[in-house]
Amino acid sequence: MINWLRIGLIVIILSVVTLVLLPFQLLALRFDWRLRRRLPRWWHRIACYMLGIRIRTHGRIEARRPLMLAANHASWKDILVLGAVADVAFIAKAEVAGWPVFGLLAKWQKSVFVVREQKRRTGDQVNEIADRLAGGEIIVLFPEGTTSDGNRLLDVKSSLFGAAAAAVASAPDGVVYVQPVSIAYTGIYGMPMGRYHRPIAAWPGDVELVPHLLGVLKAQAIDVDVDFGEVVEFRAETNRKVAGATVVSRLRAQLQRRLYRRAG
């Protein structure tokens, strides 16, 4: 009974917060005010607090711009976590725009929706991301393209870093910075989270959303470690495949070190 009361309270509070912030966010989107980048961070922080997601950050986000963050992807909670620690915009699959609640939130945060299957649109999508990067926005890329079980980094394609390479020409110093960011769900109820409990935090594609969401709401306390790694520089002469592989290698090593360290 207590769990259901808590869930109801969370829903009510997040609904109220959304209704209060939404008019300001819609105005900021309409007139492209910088406020549109900051308001989502407040919402994400409140959401993480209400859901009991406790964030520990390690290292620092790169101060130079243009900046792309390349992160592993285990759950929709990754959006809340990264959105709570930085003013970011996300690259999302086109179908996310049609999802109830999550799709609206993604639109209100001005996510970039990409259709990877339609090659004729790839150029326009890459240009949009490149323009946003050149404009000083921090863009988050999930190079796996889908969610994992939270225990590993799935295979990725270096072609997904094309937008970073495309933004080089518009970068003030001719450099685009790509920073690997690992998101590791490491604790639950104050205890280390191993493989057995990690499905509570992770959301692989074959798991239904509603039961998973209820499990998260009932968990009350989930610890997540966010590690900001060493930046990889993309320049005009940079080999995109090599640079992308370097980002992925660093991201995989960060994630494994954090999970192994917590498990030990």
pLDDT tens digits, one per residue of 103-124: 889 999 999 988 766 555 566 7
User: pLDDT value at position 215?
Assistant: 66
What is the percent of the chain where pLDDT is above 90? 53
User: pLDDT value at position 38?
Assistant: 94
Domain annotation for the chain: domains and CATH numbers: 2-263 (3.40.1130)
User: pLDDT value at position 97?
Assistant: 87
DSSP 27-71: HHHHHT-THHHHHHHHHHHHHHHHHTEEEEEES----SSSEEEEE
Helix (H, G, I), strand (E, B) or coil at 113: strand
User: pLDDT value at position 174?
Assistant: 93
User: pLDDT value at position 210?
Assistant: 66
**Contact between 186 and 261 (Cβ < 8 Å):** no
pLDDT tens digits, one per residue of 168-215: 988 989 999 999 999 999 988 778 887 766 777 777 665 666 666 666
d(CA 82, CA 95): 21
Helix (H, G, I), strand (E, B) or coil at 16: helix
d(CA 27, CA 33): 8
User: pLDDT value at position 20?
Assistant: 96
d(CA 112, CA 89): 8
Mark the ranges of the chain whose per-residue pLDDT is less than 50. Answer: 262-264
**Contact between 57 and 226 (Cβ < 8 Å):** yes
Q: What angle do CA 199, 204, 208 make, to 5 degrees?
A: 90
d(CA 264, CA 261): 5
- For residue 110 the two structure tokens come to 């001005």
User: Across the strands, what pairs with 223?
Assistant: 54, 187
Find tokens 């986000």 and name the residue.
61
